Structure 1
Amino acid sequence: MNKIEQNKYVEAALEGDSQALETLLIEVKNFIFNLSLRMLGNVHDAQDATQDILIRIMTRLDSFHQESAFTTWVYRLSVNYLINYKKSIFAQHSLSFEFYEQDTKNGFMEKNEALLQGIDEDELAWELRMSCTNVMLQCFDPQTRCIFILGTMFHLDSKIAGELLDMSPDNYRQKLSRAKKKMTKFLGENCGLTKTGYCDCKKRVSYAIASHRLHPNHLEFNTLQPLNEQLLTDVTNHMVEIDKQVPVFEDLPNYEPPISVEAFMKNLLESDDMKVIQSYDKDEVIS
């Protein structure tokens, strides 16, 4: 959907066309969920944040003045919200690369078949890999994490990403370069996926289960529906060539939100008490 089409849907939505509003939310839901997942580190928090952001889009749509593309406005709203998000588990229990390194060095034990509960070990190792890479991002402070995610995983143009983060393209590129170097060093020294690190996902499975970090009967990432990558590419639409320093993150799959956004919006729009929606604060106007 191009900018002109988006603006037509925005105008229709502001005039009360619920179908137009639903179309707009469907257009951006994949980006919002996947950004939330990387920023917050787990599926549950990402679901909650996605719904919060969708509500903010609905209640603040009249503050979109069409000075930028609708998707850019949504990205800015999402970025601001997620950088300041305080309800996630990692916002309350912060991580550092130093702590994570010590944890990977100490987090091994012999394979325990009873702990696997009959689940294929490769499947569990894949779940642990997805969880580990998303949690690893939490070792960055929120702004640096967002810079790394936008540049490495969503490949946003430095001008667009800089605008979202209220910094110049040059400043953004410098911060992104430093973040990549830090992550590259950490991965090279620790992660077995880089061929130089010592950590092995499969060898950590039993330990992860025993320490309640991995739950064989509740595999969040294995149950997510992979996203058609072209859909996300079509929405971001601003790509730059980047180096291959951190393929561990560049190769991570994107996912369909594990919530029915259409049903979620329908329930809100048909609610007898729209005051619940309208009560959300509007202290942050984004144009």
Structure 2
Amino acid sequence: MESTLENLVQQAKEGSREALESLVQGIQDRIYGLALRMLGYPADAEDAAQEILIKVVTRLESFRQESAFTTWVYRIAANHLLTTRKRLAENQAVSFEDYEALLGMAVASEWPESVPEAERSLVVKEVMLSCTHGMLLGLDRPQRITFILSEIFDISSQQGACILDITPAAYRKRLSRARDRIRTFMLKNCGAVNAENPCHCEQVAPFAIQTHAMDPKNLLFTGHRRRDDGGRLSMAYLEELDSLQRMAALFKNHPDYTAPETCLANLKELVRSRRIGIFEGLH
């Protein structure tokens, strides 16, 4: 995969529009997936992904193969996501303490008749996905991106340190703090980590609908474009894992989200319009 991308980079540098478009297509999903987990809302993630893709293609000439191309791309994406203005979900995010208080209000209730039984499992899964996204937003941006890179994208401490331009020791320390914050919260509250805990997605789901915190006709995450559904974890499997492994498994179990079609379409239009000087020599 990496060698294919670097071949496309070389062809794009030589002026191939087709190679540039293929290159964007090859990296857009991972950029969008990172943006979605950092910003928490699909529309904001789409905007950020397009901004990052434009930075990548306009800086392509500066890629000197001193690192893997994907590392270079992640570095551009990380810098953008760490410095971009706060978006909708971040402005609505709450601390872990406030989050715990909110979950304590989500008492078990009956499903509204408006939600057919066949659709309820999707709503329960949406609660799980929304909750883990909410936990990510409870971290500050540096801890959040470190946790996402390592726990969800399986990036090593060495590569992660290169992406964030910090030492491996500093990266591991930041990752440890992020893990501790999320693990402490989940060990105390999450029923998927410990069945004796008070919060269970099956109980929160009908409460979320009744209080209009969630719209069953507009599910942000379970209704999202994806290559892979995720959501295959069973309680039997989780019971075989220790608490840290369970926590990581729940985050990795998210669907493999794909970027909206407009990401590539908008960039293609920009390339073909030649409104940016770097695109003028493409053929």
TM-score by length of 2: 0.83
Query: Contact conserved, 1:225 with 1:255, CA < 8 A, in 2?
Result: yes
Counterpart for residue 204 of structure 2: 204
Counterpart for residue 220 of structure 1: 220
Which residues of 2 match residues 1-287 of structure 1 at below 5 A?
1-3=1-3, 5-108=4-107, 110-114=109-113, 116=115, 120-194=119-193, 195-227=195-227, 244=245, 246=247, 247-271=249-273, 274-275=275-276
**What secondary structure, in the 3-state scheme, does the structure 2 residue paired with 1:203 have?**
helix
Q: Which is further off, 32-41 or 42-51?
A: 42-51
Give the Cα separation in 2 of the matches to 1:167 and 1:197: 37
Give the Cα separation in 1 of the matches to 2:131 and 2:65: 39
Give, as a single letter, the amino acid of the residue that structure 1 aligns with 2:9: V
Percent identity over the alignment is 35
State the Cα deviation string for residues 221-245 of structure 1 (Å, max 9, x = none).
222243359xxxxxxxxxxxxx615
RMSD: 2.5
Give the Cα separation in 2 of the matches to 1:196 and 1:174: 31
In structure 2, the gaps of 5 or more residues are 230-243
**What secondary structure, in the 3-state scheme, does the structure 2 residue paired with 1:68 have?**
coil
Query: Contact conserved, 2:71 with 2:162, CA < 8 A, in 1?
Result: no
State the Cα deviation string for residues 18-75 of structure 1 (Å, max 9, x = none).
1111121122112111111111112222222111211221222222232222211100
Q: CA deviation at 1:144?
A: 0.2
Q: CA deviation at 1:79?
A: 0.8
Give, as a single letter, the amino acid of the residue that structure 2 aligns with 1:170: A
Give, as a single letter, the amino acid of the residue that structure 1 aligns with 2:123: L
State the Cα deviation string for residues 132-170 of structure 1 (Å, max 9, x = none).
111211000000011111111111111100111121112
Give, as a single letter, the amino acid of the residue that structure 1 aligns with 2:251: F
Counterpart for residue 238 of structure 2: none
Give the Cα separation in 2 of the matches to 1:143 and 1:7: 28
Q: CA deviation at 1:261?
A: 4.1
Give the Cα separation in 2 of the matches to 1:216 and 1:245: 27
Residues 7, 141 of structure 1: alpha-carbon distance in 2 compared, 3 angstrom cutoff:
same
State the Cα deviation string for residues 77-97 of structure 1 (Å, max 9, x = none).
011111222242133334211
Query: Contact conserved, 2:228 with 2:255, CA < 8 A, in 1?
Result: no
Counterpart for residue 235 of structure 1: none
State the Cα deviation string for residues 152-203 of structure 1 (Å, max 9, x = none).
1111111100111121112211221222122111111111111242111121
Give, as a single letter, the amino acid of the residue that structure 1 aligns with 2:110: K
**Aligned length, in residue pairs:** 263
Give the Cα separation in 2 of the matches to 1:79 and 1:186: 26
In structure 1, the gaps of 5 or more residues are 230-242, 279-287
**What secondary structure, in the 3-state scheme, does the structure 2 residue paired with 1:274 have?**
coil
Residues 258, 212 of structure 1: alpha-carbon distance in 2 compared, 3 angstrom cutoff:
farther
Residues 193, 118 of structure 1: alpha-carbon distance in 2 compared, 3 angstrom cutoff:
closer
TM-score by length of 1: 0.82
Query: Contact conserved, 2:227 with 2:255, CA < 8 A, in 1?
Result: yes
Residues 137, 75 of structure 1: alpha-carbon distance in 2 compared, 3 angstrom cutoff:
same
Residues 54, 245 of structure 1: alpha-carbon distance in 2 compared, 3 angstrom cutoff:
same
Q: CA deviation at 1:251?
A: 2.4
State the Cα deviation string for residues 115-146 of structure 1 (Å, max 9, x = none).
53776222111112111111211000000011
Counterpart for residue 241 of structure 2: none
Give the Cα separation in 2 of the matches to 1:168 and 1:136: 26
Counterpart for residue 232 of structure 2: none
Residues 7, 250 of structure 1: alpha-carbon distance in 2 compared, 3 angstrom cutoff:
closer
